Amino acid sequence: MRRTKIVCTIGPASSRPEMLDRLVTAGMDVARLNFSHGTHAEHAEVIQAIREGEARWGRPVTILQDLQGPKVRLGTFVGGQAVLVTGEEFVLTGRTLKGTASRSSLNHPEFLSALRPGDPVWMDDGMLQLSVEKIEDGDVRLHVLGHAKGLAAIRRLADHLEPFPLQEGFQTLTDDGVVVSEKNRHRHFIAPEES
């Protein structure tokens, strides 16, 4: 008896009934629908196709709805960008202001209250690591630890992925910091899990 479940992400290329038949024949147990993409009507069609297919397949297929978490983003910056320098201080605040190389607003200030001194904070898909130094008057003072590359970034990030998902993006790296531009200011702020 097989104890492993096979999860398949269903998208435009795999949502037709004949493709679903092939996936179930190959062993699919769970159909994952990514609600970050597509419309509710498109997802409803896929769900209906799966439910109708169950009669042909002679077994149920679980449907997993992958729902997007909150997108926590930095605010806009004076001049459109700021360079965060390794070793320098950076402040996150819930107050609305134009960001600089030393501070930025956050669109979900309620997340700031979850942070404690020593907590890691990751920005830009985990490529930039900061550490919480202290919290003063609702502002979080961070120390810029630097940017990670390749497998080192993945290993360091893996311990701190919860509870917010990652999103694809890009950044311009410099030798001593990271350029955060207004054009691509959708940065990730990953808070540690509450224990």
Q: Give the Cα separation of 181 and 21 in Å (integer).
A: 46
| Confidence label for 160 from pLDDT (cuts 50, 70 and 90) | very low
Task: Please determine, for residue 53, whether its predicted confidence score (pLDDT) is greater than 90.
Answer: yes
Task: Please determine, for residue 162, whether its predicted confidence score (pLDDT) is greater than 80.
Answer: no
Rounded to an integer, the average pLDDT of 84-97 is 91
Residues in the chain: 195
Handedness of CA 114, 120, 122, 126 (dihedral sign): negative
pLDDT at 148: 62
Task: Please determine, for residue 51, whether its predicted confidence score (pLDDT) is greater than 50.
Answer: yes
Task: Please determine, for residue 156, whether its predicted confidence score (pLDDT) is greater than 90.
Answer: no
Average pLDDT, the chain: 77
Q: How far apart are the first and last CA of the chain?
A: 37
- Yes or no: say if 191 and 120 are a contact pair by the CB < 8 Å rule: no
| Confidence label for 12 from pLDDT (cuts 50, 70 and 90) | very high
* Overall CATH class of domain 78-181: mainly beta
Instruction: Report the share of the chain in percent with pLDDT over 90.
Output: 41
pLDDT at 146: 82
Q: pTM higher than 0.85 for the full model?
A: no
pLDDT at 126: 73
